[in-house]
Amino acid sequence: MSTKVVRLRSTRKHELAAVVVCAAIAAACSKTSTSVSAPSGTKCSVAVTNAPSTPFPSAGGNGTIGVSTTRDCTWTVSADSSWVSVATTSGQGDGTVRFSVSANVVPSPRSAAIVISSQRVPLSQAAAPCRFDLSRTADSVGASGGRLAVDVTTVSGCTWTAASTVGWIEIESGKSGNANGTVVLSVAANAGPDRVGQATIAAQNYTVMQTSDGSGSGPPASPAPPLEISGRVQNISGLCPSIRFELSGTIVATSPDTEFRKLKCTDVKKDVRVTVQGLTQVDGVVLALQVRKTD
């Protein structure tokens, strides 16, 4: 009887141990785990499209760059120059980067880049055109002559020259320059009738009108009547209001005193038909008193 009791207890111990082991295994088998990993470097590669291929004009402008990547990938945007501004500094998935380029006021081209993640998108911009302004475009001087000074205003990097078109006006100093400068002209004494001459300064006409001293023999010469010529405008140069153009084989020069009818100075363009009334100068150039558009 005692032997059976011992065997029964031993059997129950083994059964209980087996139950405990099975419970532990079941608990372990019921557990689950989840891990999250960021997209791999290959998965998050960023490509750009529609990158600018030509330089922006000196006036500036706006542009867009396309960004192509997977939906869960993020990217950053920055510009490496102050004259380029971007509308956003980051994004995710496919997108568009809008940017603007400010005006270039320097007469030399420039370059910059927009960096989108690891992609560098180069940009370039054309140089600003050189603009020249004269302190005056015309002067009057007495028969004894004298010195005249004209200031040229422009920006650094813009070069210009000065030359006389008549023998009695000499460029004393300032025959060439870079940026702002001053041109000094020497006007010889006039022993004859009133006369008009010109110098070309920074591609603009500068007119000098000189009176007579009245010492010539006989009465003073009568001024020549205005010449009138018509035709189509060709070969324009200079800046308004002082421009030069060819009309029926004759060089015409305008000044701030020129009267424009049925058009403005800026309307004088190639092939526009005009009639000019003016005075022929010593060098053969006609100084325009009036420019009238011809229908």
250 shares a domain with 205: no
Q: What is the pLDDT of residue 286?
A: 85
Confidence of residue 225 (pLDDT cuts 50, 70, 90): low
Q: What is the pLDDT of residue 24?
A: 46
Confidence of residue 21 (pLDDT cuts 50, 70, 90): very low
- Domain encompassing residue 54: 47-125
Task: Tell whether the model's pLDDT for residue 257 goes beyond 50.
Answer: yes
119 shares a domain with 137: no
290 shares a domain with 261: yes
Q: What is the CATH number of the domain that holds 137?
A: 2.60.40.10
Q: What is the pLDDT of residue 80?
A: 94
Q: What is the pLDDT of residue 224?
A: 53
Q: What is the pLDDT of residue 227?
A: 85
Q: What is the pLDDT of residue 52?
A: 92
Q: Calculate mean pLDDT across residues 257-276.
A: 91
190 shares a domain with 233: no
Task: Tell whether the model's pLDDT for residue 65 goes beyond 90.
Answer: yes
Choosing from 70, 98, 125, the residue where a domain stops is 125
Task: Tell whether the model's pLDDT for residue 15 goes beyond 70.
Answer: no
Domain membership flag for residue 5: no
DSSP secondary structure letters along 110-145: EEEEEEETTEEEEEEEPPPPP--EES-SEEEE-TT-
Domain membership flag for residue 150: yes
Choosing from 191, 214, 237, the residue where a domain stops is 214
By mean pLDDT, which of 214-223, 239-248, 286-295 is the weakest? 214-223
Confidence of residue 282 (pLDDT cuts 50, 70, 90): low
239 shares a domain with 166: no
Domain membership flag for residue 34: no
Task: Tell whether the model's pLDDT for residue 29 goes beyond 80.
Answer: no
- pLDDT tens digit string along 171-221? 999 999 988 999 999 999 998 899 999 999 998 889 999 988 765 544 444
Q: What is the pLDDT of residue 237?
A: 87
Q: What is the pLDDT of residue 270?
A: 92
For residue 294, give the amino acid letter.
T
73 or 213, higher pLDDT? 73
DSSP secondary structure letters along the chain: -HHHHHHHHHHHHHHHHHHHHHHHHHHHHH-------PPPTTTT--EEES---SPBPTT-EEEEEEEE--TT-EEEEEESSTTEEES-SEEESSEEEEEEE----SSS-EEEEEEETTEEEEEEEPPPPP--EES-SEEEE-TT-EEEEEEEE--TT-EEEEEESSTTEEEEE-SEEESSEEEEEEE----SS-EEEEEEETTEEEEEEE---S-SSSSPPPPPPPEEEEEEEEEEEEETTEEEEEETTEEEE--TT-EEESS-GGG--TT-EEEEEEEE-TTS-EEEEEEEE--
Domain membership flag for residue 202: yes
Q: What is the CATH number of the domain that holds 271?
A: 2.40.50.140
Domain membership flag for residue 14: no
Domain membership flag for residue 9: no
Choosing from 194, 214, 234, the residue where a domain stops is 214
- pLDDT tens digit string along 110-150? 999 999 998 999 999 999 999 899 988 888 899 999 999 99
204 shares a domain with 135: yes
Q: What is the pLDDT of residue 34?
A: 47
Task: Tell whether the model's pLDDT for residue 30 goes beyond 80.
Answer: no
Q: What is the mean pLDDT of the chain?
A: 83
232 shares a domain with 205: no
Q: Calculate mean pLDDT across residues 250-263.
A: 87
Strand partners for 186 = 147, 170
The CA radius of gyration of the chain, in Å to the nearest whole number, is 42
Q: Hey, what are 277's tokens?
A: 């009334």
- What phi and psi, each to the nearest 5 degrees, are found at residue 20? -60, -45
Looking at the structure of the chain, the number of domains it has is 3
Count of beta carbons in the 10 Å neighbourhood of residue 187:
22
Q: Calculate mean pLDDT across residues 47-54.
A: 92
In this prediction, what percent of the chain has a pLDDT beyond 70? 80
